[in-house]
Chain A
Amino acid sequence: MKKSKPRYRAGSIADGQKFMAIPLLLWSIMFILLPLAVVLYNAFLDPSGGFSLDAFRKVFSSDGIYLHLLLSSLWLAVESTLICLLLGYPLAYILSRHASASVMILVFILPMWMNFLLRTYSWLAILGKNGILNSLFSLIGLPGINILNTRPAVVLGMIYNFLPFMVLPIYNSLNKIDPSLIEASGDLGASEGKTFLKVVLPLSIPGVYSGISMVFLPAVTTFVIPSLLGGGKVDMIGNIIESQFLKTNNWAFGSALSLILMVLIFAFMKATSKYNTEENERGGLI
């Protein structure tokens, strides 16, 4: 006869709770992993049902249309991210030192509660040939501009939509800096500029990294902004993927492009992961 066990061991109940992850496991297999497997399968499928590398060959083909498109999408996203960083860091800094910072942040994220397609669409009325901006320009005697349906309009749309994703993580990391560190730096004789460069900036780098990934990732994959503000003239990789599935029905090519996009994103995540601790990943979103 075994020794009578206590009703439970410390931790044994907690161990039993790990089975609560099973529903998630099943759901994830069914609706996350299996769909990705289907994309993978489709990418290597030829129309007759056999194995083929044609889709990938098409992407990297010698005429280079799609490779060029891929690179120009990446470049457009990089450009937008950099401008967001240049605009967003000073703003985050100003906000973090503002007397009523929490109210200002609220005012800052409020626009995100309006449907983003509609907000983006609204730029058409501002940027259009007879739009608000040109009317204002002609009032003060400036020549009109016509950037709608061009690359700059798409970049502007990206900045407009994604700037908060850059500002919030940076603001959070600036906010976490212990004010006594800044005082100490001043007490030890550093000028304000030096304190910023040597204390504040290095401590805010995690926020910068998290902001960069939160802007770059949606920017490189969007097809809505180029489609609304680029008027079909500024295609990004997302637009090509969309049309493969919904217009030309070339699933193999669309799947191949999607997989390439995914690989690029994981490479990017890997490169920036050093700074993306769990805490930072959340920081920006909520």
Chain B
Amino acid sequence: MKKFLSALGAFLSRFYMIIIFIFLYAPIILLMVFSFNEGRSTSVFTGFSLRWYVELFHDSQIMDALYYTVLTAVVSSLVAAVVGTISAIGISRLKGWQRNSMVNVANLPIINPDILTGVSLMLLFILMKMPLGLGTMMIAHITFNIPYVILSVLPHMRQMDPHLYEAAMDLGASPSQAFFKVIIPELMPGIISGTLLAFTMSIDDFIISFFTTGNGISNLSIVVYSMAKRGIKPSINALSTIMFLTVLILLVVVNLIGKSGRKAKKPSRQPVRSLI
């Protein structure tokens, strides 16, 4: 009886997990399948064709949006990496109310609703007579990316021996050597995960970009949103399929490399954060 119950439990868990996975993957698979559709419809499959993949590369609206999306994500996450790391070091040396208020203010873009961040920056740019466009969108992205880097670097700063820097100097390192050869390498895992997180946040952002851009500068999300009313061109599906498969392949490769390197160790129940 007990055996039967646990087998039933295992079956139900598996069944439940599969149902949820179907729920999560159905829209994505649909999207990919219809990127190979001959016709324009997204619900009637009329025949296999690579037409939308060819059209994608001739579609200047989508290609421009892709360019601006990637440009914004790369530049803003790199700037955020530098500013965020320096800030995290600074914050970790603050104490009491100074530290608390600095952390709270810096985290506001994460806590505040995106729509408020977007609207408030838009009003500021208009008030300062800055023309809305790539520059303003970039400032907005840097603003919401910085806290992600800070949040990733701060715990590493806390774990670091506070006297490491002095020890390096006692051993004859100059202040800049101590900083770049000792402190920064210690923080590197946090800097990398924070920057990657910032990058993905920037790639996926819609609301804040929507309010802070102008002058015909759009990222992919904005293009999708503006197309949604008239019906989305399957070229966008084609582009997403390419992007999704790229990420998938990268993840598989990274995981395989990671696995072969860690084979000797026991299988760890690692927390989610190590996965990204």
Contact = CB atoms under 8 A, between A and B. Distances in A.
Interface of A: 8, 10-11, 13-15, 17-25, 27-28, 31-36, 38-39, 42, 87, 90-91, 94-95, 97-98, 101-111, 113-126, 128, 130-132, 135, 160, 163, 168, 171-172, 175-176, 217-218, 220-221, 223-224, 228, 238, 241-242, 245-246, 251, 254-255, 258, 261-262, 265-266, 269, 281-283, 285-286
Given A102-B270, A107-B21, A126 B120 contact: no
5 tightest A-B CB contacts, nearest first: A21-B90, A20-B90, A35-B120, A221-B113, A122-B27
B221 A286 contact: no
Contacts of B54: none
Interface of B: 13, 16-17, 20-21, 23-28, 30-31, 34, 42-44, 83, 86-87, 89-91, 93-94, 102, 105-106, 108-109, 111-117, 119-124, 127, 139-140, 142-143, 146, 148, 150-152, 155, 162-163, 165-166, 169, 175, 193, 197, 200, 204, 206-207, 211, 220-221, 224-225, 228, 232, 236-237, 240, 243-244, 247-248, 251, 255, 269-273, 275-276
A148 B116 CA distance: 28
A42 B126 CA distance: 12
B244 to A, nearest CB: 5
A34 B255 CA distance: 44
Question: What DSSP secondary structure best describes chain A's contact surface?
Answer: helix
Find the residue from B90, B139, B142, B150 having the highest chain A CB count within 10 A: B90
A133 to B, nearest CB: 9
A14 B119 contact: no
A241 B146 CA distance: 26
B113 A265 contact: yes
Contacts of B93: 14-15, 17-18, 20-21
Contacts of A128: 43
A225 B204 CA distance: 15
Contacts of B269: 101, 175
A114 B94 contact: no
A35 B121 contact: yes
B102 A24 contact: yes
Given A27-B143, A126-B26, A160-B27, A17 B272 contact: no
Contact of B165 (A14, A125, A132): A14
A24 B91 CA distance: 9
Given A242-B115, A245-B119, A283-B271, A94 B16 contact: yes
Contact of A265 (B112, B121, B140, B276): B112
A217 B207 CA distance: 14
Contacts of B151: 281-282
B27 A38 contact: no
Nearest to A32: B108
Residue among B13, B102, B120 having the largest count of chain A Cβ atoms under 10 Å:
B120
Given A132-B43, A176-B271, A28 B105 contact: yes
Contacts of A13: 165-166, 169, 175
21 contacts: A17-B89, A21-B93, A33-B105, A35-B120, A39-B116, A113-B243, A114-B244, A117-B225, A118-B232, A131-B43, A175-B272, A176-B271, A217-B113, A221-B115, A238-B113, A245-B119, A254-B119, A258-B113, A265-B111, A286-B152, A286-B272
B150 to A, nearest CB: 8
Contact of B124 (A35, A95, A172, A218): A35
B207 A38 contact: no
B179 to A, nearest CB: 9
Contact of A117 (B115, B197, B224, B237): B224
B163 to A, nearest CB: 7
Contacts of A172: 271-273
A132 B169 CA distance: 67
A94 B165 CA distance: 45
A202 B174 CA distance: 51
Given A125-B43, A168-B272, 20 more contacts: A14-B93, A19-B90, A20-B89, A38-B127, A91-B16, A97-B13, A111-B24, A113-B244, A115-B221, A116-B221, A121-B228, A125-B34, A175-B271, A221-B115, A221-B116, A241-B115, A242-B115, A254-B119, A261-B116, A285-B197
A266 B30 CA distance: 39
Nearest to B237: A118
Contacts of A224: 206-207, 225
A163 to B, nearest CB: 7
B43 A102 contact: no
B143 A245 contact: no
A103 to B, nearest CB: 8
Given A17-B89, A21-B90, A122-B28, A228 B228 contact: yes
A28 B124 contact: no
A229 B273 CA distance: 31
Given A17-B93, A106-B275, A172-B271, A11 B123 contact: no
B257 to A, nearest CB: 14
Contacts of A105: 272, 275
